[in-house]
A = this chain, B = another copy of it.
Amino acid sequence: MSCFELLTTDPHCAARRGVLTTAHGRVQTPAFMPVGTAGAVKGILPEQIEATGAQIILGNTYHLLLRPGVDVVEKLGGLHGLTGWNHPILTDSGGYQVFSLSSLTKIDDDGVEFASHLDGARIPLNAEIATEIQVRLGSDIIMCFDECTPYPVEEEKLRRAVARTIEWAKRCKAAHNTLVKGGANPTPIDPMGPISPTGRTASLLFGIVQGGVDPELRRQCAERIVEIGFDGYAIGGLSVGEGHEAMAQTVRCTVPHLPSEAPHYLMGVGMPIDILAAVMAGVDMFDCVLPTRNGRNAFAFTRSGSLRLRNSVHVESCEPLEPGCDCVCCRRFTRGAIRHFFNCGEMLGPILLSIHNLRFYQRLMADIREHIERGDFASWATGEMARYAGIEREP
């Protein structure tokens, strides 16, 4: 049975309205996943995440692997037990952080060995280990271990990364079949230790398409990944510096090679304009640190543009951050109060802006879903993209 039900497709573009079913509940798509780095969306309680309208969060395997470690997470009831979040959780494979945060000490066709950015400990990671870790974390949606390339990148390196991503995807599927789908004699894979016999989540496995901004490589990679067969398909390796247009163009030329009956997930994206363009191209799922990271840096998203709350123009402002927003920040606090909290290093500043930005993103997704249902998404989204074109990415 498919995990994804397609409810509506927009008549004027590839936008889709759907429902994704996981072991911990359903997710209305298009959906945005807040990022819970180390088992928590920074500073935000699960009931506050629920109040923003989020239905699924993302956990970073890399960070959890280093602290508190897979054994500990497993003993504390898996990622759901650790975070107090009783709804769906998707985990990344750790690959992205390995390539961006740690010192790689070895990479070959088997996988990688990296040095922890915390203490330098050397840790191996490959298709089998990354899959097992995510199974043991109790993830609802497990991502294949892939090779992420930077931007720009030499063609030879990109081709090798695509080839490895395809081979590793096959191994991830085999490992997932053995561990979760009850293959014969599920043998734990060292060095992660034995798998807890209880509480194993009936997780979904998503394949990842790489290929940089090369349409032909993206097509080839997509076809191979689809041949292997997964519960859902992700587009990885974007939002790494290629810019909005190249990102959107790559998404537009990749999605058509993915099965329409499966969910499409654009990893690590992005700004409101990026999300609108990708939904228009047929993407169903997103994650990004921007609402929370920017919020912690006093940067607020609003429909009228961005606000920098450290700015002295807000000192005496009695306005809410965004008039009409129903989040606790906008209901209870003035811009002047928020500015004061940032000015004196009070934790409420980062907390309130994280909550507002998460609510802003969830309102955006709710609007997107509503316009797809109404059949007027394409024209509405074009207007919204013009509205958001001027917002910078970083505070």
Residues of A that sit less than 8 Å from B by CB: 38-40, 42-47, 63, 67-68, 72, 75-77, 81-84, 315-316, 318, 328, 332-334, 336-337, 340-341, 343-344, 346-348, 350-352
Give A388 Cβ to nearest chain B Cβ, in Å: 28
Q: Is the CB of B346 within 8 A of A38?
A: yes
Q: Are A337 and B75 in contact (CB under 8 A)?
A: no
A336 contacts which of B43, B72, B328, B344 (Cβ < 8 Å)? B72
Q: Are A45 and B328 in contact (CB under 8 A)?
A: yes
Docked-complex contact B347 and A347, CB < 8 angstroms: yes
Known contacts A332-B46, A337-B84; A315 and B68 CB within 8 A of each other = yes
Cross-chain contact B38 with A336 (CB below 8 angstroms): no
Q: A42-B348, A47-B328, A67-B344 are in contact. List 20 more A-B contacts (CB 8 A).
A: A38-B340, A38-B346, A39-B340, A40-B346, A40-B348, A42-B346, A43-B347, A63-B344, A67-B343, A68-B315, A68-B340, A68-B343, A75-B316, A77-B334, A81-B318, A82-B334, A82-B340, A83-B337, A84-B337, A351-B351
Contact call A336/B76, Cβ cutoff below 8 A: yes
Contact of A76 among B46, B63, B334, B352 (CB under 8 A): B334
What are 28 A-B contacts with C-beta separation under 8 Å? Answer: A38-B341, A38-B344, A38-B346, A39-B337, A40-B346, A42-B348, A43-B348, A43-B351, A45-B348, A45-B352, A47-B328, A67-B343, A67-B344, A68-B315, A72-B316, A75-B316, A76-B334, A77-B318, A77-B334, A81-B318, A82-B336, A82-B337, A83-B337, A84-B337, A347-B347, A347-B350, A347-B351, A351-B351
Residue from the set A42, A45, A334 with the largest chain B CB neighbour count within 10 Å: A45
Task: Report the separation of the CA atoms of residues A131 and B72 in the bound assembly, to the nearest whole angstrom.
Answer: 54
CA gap between A44 and B347 in the complex, in Å: 8
